[in-house]
Amino acid sequence: MSQNFLSIQKEYLKKAWARPIRELEVALPAHYAENCFHFQAFGEPCEIHREEIILGGDPLHSAEGVLIAIYASFVTNQPIQLQPLKAFRQFPGGMSYQAAFSMNAEKVLIPHVESIQKRQEELIARFSGTPNKDVKRYDFSFTLHPLPNVPLYYLFNLPDEEFPASVTCLFSSNADSFLPVEGLADTAEYTSKKIIQLVTKL
């Protein structure tokens, strides 16, 4: 399976590297040095080489690597339009993936909401994020950047005597200018996995 991911990843890398280096450097955005692009992805240092992607010091031969390669081949240099925020189902074709998105990106975080609140500053720093201020009807909120141009806007409610915890993940209004819609779902899913990994570690 990893070989399948690697071959797909290499095809998207070819498309990415077919773009002018300066154009891709601006679009990602990234710093180009030593024949590769350097930026942050999923809370880790990421390098995009012509033949491989290195994340957190390790070569990627997984679906995550394919996603980063797709981002590099697809991303535009448009400015991010955070407002108005969009739910995943509002993107063209999003309703087809909505059930899986809700389960893998939002509901999977619900058992960890209290831990996420306690470690939100660490998560924000790790994902080059920001706290969301003046958010009403929610206990806390922040925006993370798993990929530089794909901010994820999270809204959390803690559990109480009347209601269970809740998690909502929203996107910038033009998020599909930087990734295909199914890629947006994957980005949110991998970010949730990373959040859980970080808040459950000792």
Tokens of 104: 């893998």
Task: Output the pTM of the full model.
Answer: 0.94
Tokens of 46: 């990421």
Q: How many CA atoms lie within 13 A of 104 on its CB side?
A: 15
pLDDT in tens, 163-174: 999 999 999 999
In order of 109, 148, 151, the CA distances from 80 in angstroms are 26, 10, 9
CA angle 162, 196, 193 (to 5 degrees): 115
pLDDT (mean) for 136-142: 94
Q: What is the pLDDT of residue 4?
A: 87
Q: What is the pLDDT of residue 1?
A: 46
